[in-house]
Amino acid sequence: MTDVKHMKWWGWGVEGVGFHWEDKPGFAPFVLKAVGLDLHNAEPAEPPVFEDLSLAGPVVAPALLTTLQGIVGEDDATIDPMERVVHTYGKSLRDLVRIRANAVERYVDVVVYPDDEQQVQAVVDAAVAADAVIIPFGGGSNIAGSLEPIKDETRTVISLDLGRLNKVISIDEKAGLARIQAGVLGPDMEEQLGRAGWTLGHFPDSFTHSTLGGWVATRSSGMQSDKYGDIADIARGLRVVRPSTDGAGTDGTLVIRGIPSASNGPSVREMILGSEGRLGVITEVTVQVHRTPEKRDVYAYFFPNWKAGIEAMQEIAESDAHPSITRVSDARESGFSLATSKERHGFDKFAADTVLPFLMRRKGWTNLEDICLSFIGFEGETSYAKRQKKLVDAIVKKHNGLGVGTGPGVLYDQKKFDTPYLRDFLLDRGAAGDVSESAMPWSQVIPLYDAVRAAADKAFDEIGIKGWIMAHMSHSYHSGACLYFTFAFVFGDDPITEYDTVKRAIQQAFVDNGGSISHHHGVGVEHSPWLEQDISTQGVAVMRGLFEATDPKGTFNPRKIVPDAAPIAAPVTRAARATAATKAPADTPSATRTRATARS
C-alpha cells in the first residue's frame, strides 16, 4: 500500500511542511491582539508520539481478513496500526485535538486497497456477508466527522481506501466529458487532464489532499465554482458499487450515465452526491471538463467597508458579467491577510505603505480599519476576460471600491492551499483555529453575518476566553452567497467542550438566520444535529427512509448525516455543558497508554 500517499497521522499535509510566521512581521502582533497568544513566548508542543496511542486490537474475524486478503492481496488488506490510525478520522479540529490527546475511542479495524471496481465489488459483498461496516476513504481531508466509526460500533469496520483508483480513464473530447476514477487526488487528476489540454476547474482549499470521489460524496465547491459550478454541477455521471444481489457480483454497480440534464424522476445522481458513503462506494465519476482557458487572472480590490463589498458582489452576480471568482473578506479577515503577508521591500513596500493609503484617503475612506479586501477572477479568451473585467470594474466603482491590480491575486493563488497548515500551528501552541460555512439568500448575508459574530462573541464570553472570528464571502449565486467563517481562541482546560460551545453557537446562528448547515463541507456527525432545522423533520424522515431502505443492514458508513433520534442539539448552556463535559471524549481517561498493537 506504499504507493498510496496519506497526510501525516496527526495533522494536515505532509511531514516537514508547516506554517511559518518568522518572515511575516505583522503576524505575531496580530495573533497577540486577536486571541492573546504571544507567539514569541509560546513554546510549540512536540508532535505527538505514535507509540503513545492506546489503540485496541482490531475487531476482525480471521476468516474475514483472509477473505479480504484473498480479494486485494495479502499486503493490501491490513491491520497495521499506523494504517488503522490514518484511516480512522479526517482533519477536523475535533479530530486533531482528540488524536493529540489520545482520545479517539474507536479505530477502524481493517484497511483495504482495492485495485479496481471489481475488487471494490468483492470487498462490498464480503462485508455484507460478514455483517461488517464499510467506510470509503479518499484523501482523508474531511472536517465534518464523516470518516470515523461510531464509537459503540461492535462490528468489523473496514476502511476502503480508493487511492489506487486514480486514473483518468478517457476523455470524450467532443462532449467535454471525462471518465475519472474516484480515488484520484486533485493534483494528480489535473496533471492527467492537463496533459491533454483540459481542466476540471475544481479547486477546493483541500485540493492537494482530497479526491474526486470525496468531493462528490460531500458536495464540494471550489475556488472557481462561480464559473465551473459546484461539484454537483460538474459530476454528470457516476458509478457506485452497492451489494450485488445475483451472488456473482455482476449486478451491484449503480450507473448514472453522463447526461447533461434529464427528467427521469427523483434524481438518483443527486442522492449519491453528498451521500458520504451511505449509499455505496463511488468508484468513478463522469465529469464536465474544460479547455484550459487562454487567460486567467485574479484581481484584487478594496472596498471602504463590508456592506459595500457585499453589495458590489451581489450586483456582479446579478449583472451580465461572469467572473470565475468573486470573493470579499470582512475587515477583520482583510487585516489578517495583510498580517500574513511577507515583509515587503523596495517599490512593493512604497506602494503598500505610501501609495495605497494615499489613494484610500483620496477616496474619502476615513476609517481604514473598515477596509475590505476582495478578489475577483476572470477566465476565458483574452478579449472576453477583458470585457468581463470592464463590466466588473464599473460595478466596483459604483460601490466606491478601488482596484489594485493582479499583484495580491497572485499571492492569493499561491497561498490558497496552505491555510489548513495554520490549524496545526495553532494547536501546537494550545490554540484552536477552525472554519464553518453556510449559504443563504442575499437578503440574509448581512443579518446572518451579524448574528454569527454576536453568537460567537457570546460563546467566547461564556467560556471566558478571548476569541476571534472573521469571514469572507467565498461563492456567489443569483439568489445568494456563501459566507465562510474562521474562528480561533486559546484553549482553557477543556478543549473539546470549549470548541463545542463556539461551534454550536455558530451553527445555530446559521440555521436561525436562513442559512444552510454547510455550503461545501458536508454533514458527517459534526453538522447532523442541525439537519432537522435545515431541511425540516419531514425532510430528515425522507432522507432516513432512503438510507434505511437502501442499506437495511447498516453496512455503509452507518449513522452519518442523519442524526440519531435524540433531541436536536441546542447551543450548549452552562448547565448542559457541565453535564456534557463528563461525557466529552477529551475527559475520557486514557488509563494505560500502551504501545499501539494489533491482535494478529
Residues annotated as catalytic (active site), given as ranges: 484
Distances (CA, A) of 372 to 32, 305, 367, 492: 21, 6, 11, 32
**All 3 cell numbers of residue 219?**
458536495
Nearest one of 21, 163, 176 to 83, comparing CA atoms = 163
532 binds its own copies (CB under 8 A): no
- Measured CA to CA, the distance from residue 445 to residue 439 in angstroms comes to 8
- Around 453, how many Cα atoms within 13 Å sit in the side-chain half-sphere? 14
Which of the residues 481 through 510 are near its own copies (CB under 8 A)? Answer: 481-482
- Which of residues 478, 574, 583, 599 is near its own copies by CB under 8 A? 478
Which of the residues 558 through 597 are near its own copies (CB under 8 A)? Answer: 561-562
3-state secondary structure of 236: strand
537 binds its own copies (CB under 8 A): yes
Distances (CA, A) of 53 to 21, 77, 93: 30, 22, 18
Least distance (Å) from its own copies to the CB of residue 587? 30
Q: CB atoms < 10 A from the CB of 494, how many?
A: 17
519 binds its own copies (CB under 8 A): yes
Least distance (Å) from its own copies to the CB of residue 301? 22
Q: Which of residues 236 and 423 has its CB atom nearest to its own copies in the complex?
A: 236
Q: Which of residues 163 and 515 has its CB atom nearest to its own copies in the complex?
A: 515
- Which of residues 21, 50, 384, 421 is near its own copies by CB under 8 A? 384
Which of the residues 223 through 242 are near its own copies (CB under 8 A)? Answer: 230, 232, 236, 240, 242
Chain-centre distance for alpha carbon 293: 26
- Measured CA to CA, the distance from residue 485 to residue 451 in angstroms comes to 12
Size of the site for its own copies (CB under 8 A): 94
**All 3 cell numbers of residue 551?**
442499506
Q: Which of residues 65 and 313 has its CB atom nearest to its own copies in the complex?
A: 313
Which of the residues 314 through 373 are near its own copies (CB under 8 A)? Answer: 318, 320, 322
Which of the residues 96 through 115 are near its own copies (CB under 8 A)? Answer: none
Burial class of residue 154 in the structure, from the number of CB atoms within 10 Å of its CB (0-12 exposed, 13-18 middle, 19+ buried):
exposed
Please identify, among the stretches 115-123, 365-373, 405-413, 532-540, the one whose residues bind its own copies according to the rule CB under 8 A: 532-540
Draw the binding track, 167-206, toward its own copies (x: CB under 8 A; -: no contact): -----x-xxxx-----------------------------
Place of cell 461539484: 231
Q: Helices 62-72 and 117-129 meet at what angle, rounded to 10? A: 170
User: What residues have CB less than 8 Å from 554, skipping those under 6 apart?
Assistant: 133
Which of the residues 412 through 471 are near its own copies (CB under 8 A)? Answer: 439-444
Please identify, among the stretches 73-81, 354-362, 412-420, 548-556, the one whose residues bind its own copies according to the rule CB under 8 A: 548-556
